[in-house]
Structure 1
Amino acid sequence: MDSSTATLFVSFLIFSLTYTFEDQREITAKPGDDVTLPCWSPRGEAVILLEWSKPELKTDGYVFLYRNERSYENYQHPTVRGRVQLSDPEMKDGNVSVILKNVTINDAGTYECHVVISNPEGRDVETKDFIQLNVTWAEGDKDGGDKDEGKKDG
């Protein structure tokens, strides 16, 4: 790698990281909701690796892991295992979003979407996106939720 290529690469990396942090999205959900955590890879490019993680989790495990053209539920963190799936299993148009089902208060936090694609030049390209998930009770629902809205007794 010559110096101009290295400089261009470092500049691109700094721009990518800066852009990613400025573009962090925030989603608010209520306990029990299913929520889509949005993430997109470049359209038409083969996804080599997709890692959804939650940096706040202290132990090993992913929120979602896809590589070698399949997902790996056994690598999911126990707190989300069985509750996460691709929004579009075929990842059409670069949609690598995931659905987190039956959200709990413990699901609140920052999620990272890390995608590695193979571009037409044969070089792997990485992107990262960050989503902030806030889980709150709806106003007037501080007792944990009255699913029948008070229509039933007992």
Structure 2
Amino acid sequence: MSLLCPCCLFSINKTAEPGENITNIILSCRAPSSTNIRAVEWIRTDPRPEYVFVYRSRGHDRENQHESFKDRVELKDSEMKDGDVSLVLRNVKINDRGTYECRVVQGKTHHWQRSPQLISIVHLSVHQPGE
């Protein structure tokens, strides 16, 4: 049985140029509800899965974050109002291109007792200026 909520899942395509930091790239994601958000996982799935950003137990989990994203990502709204768990990606690099998944754990149980629910998929294309 899949925990995927087809009515909630959506896919977004984003395009950026390397070094784009005047206008930060926002990878959009909104949980079905703003209540009881226990964990948020942003994962880049290709070329191999790696954690871009992890929020657990009311804090940013930097230990599980891939080195290439450290100090370059943060939640758009640290309070996750209205379920907004969108991710801001600064200083975009060619190597950032790929598919990103936003997964959320909600409810009253401990986050390790539930599987994260896939909420959105973002396909990020990064091009050299002039491409």
**TM-score, normalised by the number of residues in structure 1:** 0.70
1:41 and 2:31 are equivalent in the alignment: yes
Moved over 2 A (4+): 13-20, 124-128
Letter in 2 for 1:116: V
Task: Decide whether aligned partners of structure 1 residues 45 and 29 sit closer, same or farther in structure 2, where only a CA change above 3 A counts.
Answer: same
Structure with higher Rg: it is 1
Bigger share in helix: 1
**CA positional deviation for 1:98:** 0.7
Match 1:50 to one of 31, 40, 44:
40
Letter in 1 for 2:121: F
Indicate the residue corresponding to 2:96 in structure 1: 107
Residues 57-76 of structure 1: CA deviation (Å, up to 9, x unaligned): 537x4100001111112221
CA contact under 8 A between 1:73 and 1:82: conserved in structure 2? no
1:30 and 2:17 are equivalent in the alignment: yes
Task: Decide whether aligned partners of structure 1 residues 79 and 57 sit closer, same or farther in structure 2, where only a CA change above 3 A counts.
Answer: farther
Residues 14-72 of structure 1: CA deviation (Å, up to 9, x unaligned): 8725863xx3110011111121100001233111110000111537x410000111111
Bigger share in strand: 2
Instruction: Give structure 1 stretches of 5+ with no counterpart.
Output: 1-9, 143-154
Which is bigger in relative contact order (C-alpha 8 A, separation at least 6)? 2
**How far apart, CA to CA, are the structure 2 residues paired with 1:14 and 1:84?**
27
> C-alpha root-mean-square deviation of aligned residues, in Å?
2.5
**TM-score, normalised by the number of residues in structure 2:** 0.81
**How far apart, CA to CA, are the structure 2 residues paired with 1:74 and 1:126?**
22
Task: Decide whether aligned partners of structure 1 residues 135 and 128 sit closer, same or farther in structure 2, where only a CA change above 3 A counts.
Answer: same
Instruction: Give structure 2 stretches of 5+ with no counterpart.
Output: 109-113
**How far apart, CA to CA, are the structure 2 residues paired with 1:112 and 1:126?**
10
